[in-house]
Chains A and B, each alone.
Chain A
Amino acid sequence: MSKLGNSEADCEDSFNSNVRTLRYAVADGASSSLFSDVWARAITETTVFGTQDFFTEPDKLIENMIQKARLVWYEHINWQSLPWFHKNKAIAGSHSTLLGVEFKKESSGYSYSTFAVGDTVLFKLQPDGTYESFPLTSPKEFNNTPSLVWSGKGYPIPKNVRMISPKTVWASGTFNSSQCIFIATDAVAKWLMEYGKFNEVRNLMYDKEKLRRYFTNEINSKKMRNDDLTLVILSLK
């Protein structure tokens, strides 16, 4: 959902999935840069539909993903027709966090490989309510300057330029039917760490309007930061 006061179209978060390859990605476009929504969509799309395996080719995955995403982003923007205020800002490029995860079927349950740039967080929730989180493990670790994936500069820098891969952290693990995976952008992730309301949220997941009202209350009572919110919950049946 969008930051309170903004329309849904203003949301700069993106989620994408590929159920064939069991890949999921969430990105949180930085509101300080322009066209971050386009960039967030481009990087989640190229992450889940790329050809590289998360388990065996992590470096190549990031390199290819970002190169393809730049083309998608660059071609989406009609540089020549932008008014001066868009043109002058868009040249600086767009930024976004990114978290990707791929699952692989094992003899019992699944294994997963995940990577992150920035403060979008993956939680693995145990049946007893305890959890492991990646890449951040404490609400104190959230700040205003998370690592970000950068699109590179815009026009007049050409679209086919060498891209600089962002600093990426990786983790892997196993996942079974008693557990649950949450992927959340920073405001929800920090709130989950502070208040631990995993089950309340999980119970509301199938009623979007109730969940929206629930989050709106949390924001209005200052428990959660007013921001674009994305939460993905994955479980095995």
Chain B
Amino acid sequence: MAYSSEISRRNPGLFLFLIDQSRSMSHKLGGTLRSKSQEAADAINRQIYELIYRCTKSDGVRDYFDIGIIGYGAVSDSADSLLKDETIVPISKLAENPLRMEKRTEKISDPDGNEVETEFEFPVWFEPVANSNTPMVKGLKLAQEWLDDWLAEHHDSYPPVVINISDGAATDGDPLEIAKAIISMSTQDGNVLFWNCHLSELKGQKPVAFPADSTVLPSNEKFATQLFEMSSELPDSFLNLAQERALDVQPGSRAYVFNAGLDELLELLDIGTRAPTENLQ
């Protein structure tokens, strides 16, 4: 059965995040006070934090996962790693080398139910950028190169999960063919899972989450259908997880949200990263 490999230090999983850094990402994400680039960067930093949390044991952070982050559009027509001087790295390396730490607070309860505000350190690995055009094809090509190298050494691993966050169409060509090429890559446990999250800046715009049929997408937005075709069908383990959360999914549902607000972005990232962590050894 596909997508059932145990994730261990010997056979780690891979999460590869791709982020649109085009100028339009500086616009506010629908229903929030911050820009799409800020919310996307914060959401991915938090997701990496969560993954590290799950990999943290008494002896340190165990390398159950490798992580890569690609940004496209910070500089016109180019894509690059957002981790300084690194491509794909073991998760323990990220834990040990955040870009910076910031102080955050949370409320915790003592045994008598009194809430105590405590300060904790939150790591940041990359900063939000919204600058140029949308060279998504270049971003996907770079992802394909990294995946090629990684897959050559991880035949038995859980298949890589690639999550692309963008707010518009590619400006450097048609990304569909290269996305299909990425989806056709595989380990012995199944094909690469390609997720797409399209961010919306309009408050109240109806998100379309995990569609099984492209006809439910707005017909006047060509890239809505394009992103649908670029997205993997959800395997059973992801469908089950989404169903447990009362999300409207069915066999054939795609790993895709169109017109996502913050809630949908977080939900997509959570489901996309949680199902594999249930296979941790």
- Which residue of chain A is the closest to B118 with respect to CB atoms? A156
Chain B residues, CB < 8 A from A226: 6, 281
> From DSSP, what is the main secondary structure of chain B's interface residues?
mixed
Instruction: Kindly identify which residue among A85, A91, A153 contacts B95, using a CB–CB cutoff of 8 Å.
Output: A85
Interface residues of A in 179-237 (CB under 8 A from B): 226
Instruction: Kindly identify which residue among A5, A31, A161 contacts B57, using a CB–CB cutoff of 8 Å.
Output: A31
Chain B residues, CB < 8 A from A163: 111
The answer to the question of A164 belonging to the interface, with a C-beta cut-off of 8 Å to chain B, is: yes
Q: Are B53 and A5 in contact (CB under 8 A)?
A: no
The answer to the question of B269 belonging to the interface, with a C-beta cut-off of 8 Å to chain A, is: no
> From DSSP, what is the main secondary structure of chain A's interface residues?
loop
Interface residues of A in 14-39 (CB under 8 A from B): 31, 34-38
- Which residue of chain B is the closest to A36 with respect to CB atoms? B58
Q: Are A162 and B112 in contact (CB under 8 A)?
A: yes
Q: Are B61 and A9 in contact (CB under 8 A)?
A: no
The answer to the question of A86 belonging to the interface, with a C-beta cut-off of 8 Å to chain B, is: yes
Q: CA separation between A85 and B58, bound complex, in Å?
A: 10
The listed residue with most A CB atoms (<10 A of its CB), out of B57, B58, B96, B281, is B58
The answer to the question of B8 belonging to the interface, with a C-beta cut-off of 8 Å to chain A, is: yes
Interface residues of B in 46-95 (CB under 8 A from A): 52-53, 56-59, 61, 95
The listed residue with most B CB atoms (<10 A of its CB), out of A31, A38, A164, is A31
Q: Are A153 and B110 in contact (CB under 8 A)?
A: yes
Q: Are B121 and A84 in contact (CB under 8 A)?
A: yes
CB distance from B108 to the nearest CB of A (A): 6
Q: Report if A5-B56 is in contact (Cβ < 8 Å); known contacts: A84-B123, A161-B111, A162-B112.
A: no
The number of chain A residues touching the other chain, given as a range, is 20 to 34
- Which residue of chain B is the closest to A155 with respect to CB atoms? B118
Instruction: List the 9 closest pairs (A to B, CB-CB), nearest first.
Output: A84-B121, A85-B56, A85-B95, A89-B56, A162-B111, A161-B111, A35-B58, A88-B120, A5-B8
- Which residue of chain A is the closest to B281 with respect to CB atoms? A5
CB distance from B252 to the nearest CB of A (A): 29
CB distance from B274 to the nearest CB of A (A): 13
The answer to the question of B203 belonging to the interface, with a C-beta cut-off of 8 Å to chain A, is: no
- Measured CB to CB, the residues of A under 8 A from B are 3, 5, 9-10, 31, 34-38, 83-89, 91, 152-153, 156-157, 161-164, 226
Q: Report if A34-B120 is in contact (Cβ < 8 Å); known contacts: A157-B108, A226-B281.
A: no
- Which residue of chain B is the closest to A37 with respect to CB atoms? B58
The number of chain B residues touching the other chain, given as a range, is 20 to 34
CB distance from B239 to the nearest CB of A (A): 19
Chain B residues, CB < 8 A from A87: 120-121
Other 9 A-B pairs with CB < 8 A, given A85-B53, A86-B56, A157-B116: A5-B8, A5-B281, A36-B58, A87-B120, A88-B120, A88-B121, A89-B56, A226-B6, A226-B281
The answer to the question of B206 belonging to the interface, with a C-beta cut-off of 8 Å to chain A, is: no
Q: Are B118 and A91 in contact (CB under 8 A)?
A: yes
Interface residues of B in 8-36 (CB under 8 A from A): 8-10
- Which residue of chain B is the closest to A164 with respect to CB atoms? B111
Chain A residues, CB < 8 A from B101: 84
Chain A residues, CB < 8 A from B120: 84, 87-88, 91
Chain A residues, CB < 8 A from B96: 83
- Which residue of chain A is the closest to B112 with respect to CB atoms? A162
CB distance from B46 to the nearest CB of A (A): 12
Chain A residues, CB < 8 A from B95: 83, 85
Chain B residues, CB < 8 A from A91: 108, 118, 120
Chain B residues, CB < 8 A from A85: 52-53, 56, 61, 95
Q: CA separation between A38 and B281, bound complex, in Å?
A: 21
Q: Report if A157-B110 is in contact (Cβ < 8 Å); known contacts: A5-B8, A38-B58.
A: yes
